[in-house]
Amino acid sequence: MVEVPRGIDIKYTIGFCVVPAENKVLMLYRNNRPNKDKWNGLGGKINFDAKETPQECVIREISEETDKLIDLSLAPDLRYTGIVTWDVTTGEEKHNGGMHAYVANFNDRTVIFNKKETREGVLDWLDLTEVTSKDNSSVVENIPHFLPEMLKGHGKARYHCVYEDGNLVDFAVSPLK
């Protein structure tokens, strides 16, 4: 795990299940806020009361959100890629936050399933090229900025997003130790 920058509340995880041979990534079209009506990775809130680690959280959340169709313990390569952080300014209000990020590479094409409706939204294996296109407005706005960098596998990094009045206005990547 990495040292989290001071003053940033990182209480979430996000995970991306990828089948590189098929150029596919599992995404969730969310029914609820945040990011309602957008394709997003899978993950959720870390249960600090249960002393859950970020990795335990992403494994649990992906299992829950896929109705147990995906078991990250079977992924030959579950990689911690760092943290995605954000500073948000809306009018006079400011806040920040973040999430621990993971990429799980699967060699076995049998993990791919047809589009599925769940209580969280619609799950589907999408083409990585579409998901990482900055022109694709159906994907959460910051994903095309950080996911391609994570997939390169250069090590742990901080992927920092700056939002003003709901718009992503800046993005930076810096290595983490």
pLDDT confidence of residue 92: 93
* 97 within a domain of the structure (yes/no): yes
Q: Which has the closest alpha carbon to 146: 42, 10, 30, 16?
A: 16
Residue 10 identity: I
Task: Quote the CA–CA distance of 63 and 46 in Å, as a whole number.
Answer: 14
- Tell me which residue range forms the domain holding 112: 10-175
Give me the phi and psi of 146, to 5 degrees please: -95, -30
pLDDT confidence of residue 108: 81
* 64 within a domain of the structure (yes/no): yes
* 5 within a domain of the structure (yes/no): no
* pLDDT tens sequence for the chain (177 residues): 666 778 888 999 999 999 999 999 999 999 998 899 999 999 999 999 999 999 999 999 999 999 999 988 878 889 999 999 999 999 999 999 999 999 999 988 888 899 999 999 999 999 999 999 999 999 999 999 999 999 998 899 999 999 999 999 999 999 997
* 77 within a domain of the structure (yes/no): yes
Q: Count structural domains, the chain.
A: 1
Pairing between β-strand 39-40 and β-strand 77-90 as defined by DSSP bridges: unpaired
* 105 within a domain of the structure (yes/no): yes
Q: Which has the closest alpha carbon to 6: 96, 80, 89?
A: 96
* 21 within a domain of the structure (yes/no): yes
Give the tokens for residue 22: 């098929």
Sign of the alpha-carbon torsion through 19, 24, 29, 33: positive
Task: Quote the CA–CA distance of 16 and 94 in Å, as a whole number.
Answer: 28
Task: Quote the CA–CA distance of 13 and 102 in Å, as a whole number.
Answer: 8
Q: Output the domain CATH number for residue 155.
A: 3.90.79.10
Task: Quote the CA–CA distance of 3 and 174 in Å, as a whole number.
Answer: 13
* 88 within a domain of the structure (yes/no): yes
